[in-house]
């Protein structure tokens, strides 16, 4: 069950007209915090993100299913079930035995999946799978949401990177 604060933040994002992936980001953030504070672990950063996305779907965030070929059929089915559960008005209580079993399994996992290094490594891996045009488009979109101070800081960083590579 997501924390009250997380649900409120996601609702605020929705009200502000932000995309479903931004709303889901709040749930992923919560999951990363849980791992960092030692509530449980995760086998990988990808798993931590998947848990967050599943919580978001169950909370009613209208996230699309993962595309075929990117994940297993089982994961697609799980995502569909989570979305259905989130769309229902009356929520069915989760099975106590299954909840405890999955939590016990997660507790045995490592905590390094949520480390800044692991998150950075994952971000780079994901970025590599995108085309240059897609990366450029997402950078342009990010610039539009930045304020003047953050924009000039990013420009300074870019200049430093270019100087280092030259």
Q: Which single residue is written with the structure tokens 């799980």? A: 78
Per-residue model confidence (pLDDT) at position 144: 84
Average pLDDT, whole number, for the chain?
92
Residues 97 and 143 in one domain: no
Number of domain units in the chain: 2
For residues 28 and 36, give the distance between their C-alpha atoms in angstroms, rounded to a whole number.
12
- Residue 130 in any domain: the answer is no
Q: CB–CB of 52/29 below 8 Å?
A: yes
Residues 96 and 148 in one domain: no
Residues 1 and 74 in one domain: yes
Q: What is the mean pLDDT of residues 105-110?
A: 95
- Residue 114 in any domain: the answer is no
Q: What is the mean pLDDT of residues 78-105?
A: 90
CA angle 114, 115, 121 (to 5 degrees): 95
Segments forming the whole domain that contains residue 140: 136-166
Q: What is the mean pLDDT of residues 65-72?
A: 89
Residues 91 and 163 in one domain: no
Per-residue model confidence (pLDDT) at position 49: 96
Dihedral (CA of 101, 107, 108, 110) sign: positive
For residues 158 and 164, give the distance between their C-alpha atoms in angstroms, rounded to a whole number.
10
Residues 77 and 140 in one domain: no
Question: Is pLDDT of 141 > 90?
Answer: no
Q: Could you please report the per-residue DSSP string of the chain? A: ---HHHHHHHHHHHHTT--HHHHHHHHHHHHHHHHHTTS---SSHHHHHHHHHHHHHHTT--PPPPPBTTB-HHHHHHHHHHHHHHH-SSPPPPPHHHHHHHHHHHHTS-SGGGSHHHHHHHHHHHHHTS-HHHHHHHHHHHHHHS-HHHHHHHHHHHHHHHHHH-
Per-residue model confidence (pLDDT) at position 70: 85
Residues 100 and 143 in one domain: no
Q: CB–CB of 27/55 below 8 Å?
A: yes
- Residue 90 in any domain: the answer is yes
- Residue 63 in any domain: the answer is yes
- Residue 29 in any domain: the answer is yes
Residue in 29, 31, 49, 52 with CA at minimum distance from that of residue 40: 31
- Residue 66 in any domain: the answer is yes
Residues 86 and 150 in one domain: no
Residues 10 and 90 in one domain: yes
- Residue 118 in any domain: the answer is no
């Amino acid at each position: 069950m997501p924390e009250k604060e997380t649900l409120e933040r996601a609702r605020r994002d929705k009200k502000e007209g932000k995309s479903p992936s931004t709303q889901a980001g709040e749930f992923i953030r919560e999951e990363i915090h849980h791992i960092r504070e030692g509530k449980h672990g995760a086998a990988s950063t990808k798993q931590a993100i998947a848990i967050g996305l599943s919580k978001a779907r169950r909370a009613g965030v209208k996230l699309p299913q993962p595309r075929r070929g990117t994940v297993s059929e089982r994961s697609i089915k799980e995502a569909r079930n989570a979305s259905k559960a989130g769309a229902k008005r009356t929520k069915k209580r989760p099975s106590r035995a299954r909840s405890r079993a999955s939590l016990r399994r997660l507790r045995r996992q490592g905590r390094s999946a949520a480390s800044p290094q692991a998150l950075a490594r994952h971000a780079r891996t994901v970025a590599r799978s995108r085309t240059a045009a897609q990366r450029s488009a997402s950078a342009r979109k990010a610039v539009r949401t930045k304020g003047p101070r953050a924009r000039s800081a990013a420009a300074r960083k870019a200049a430093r990177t270019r100087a280092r590579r030259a």
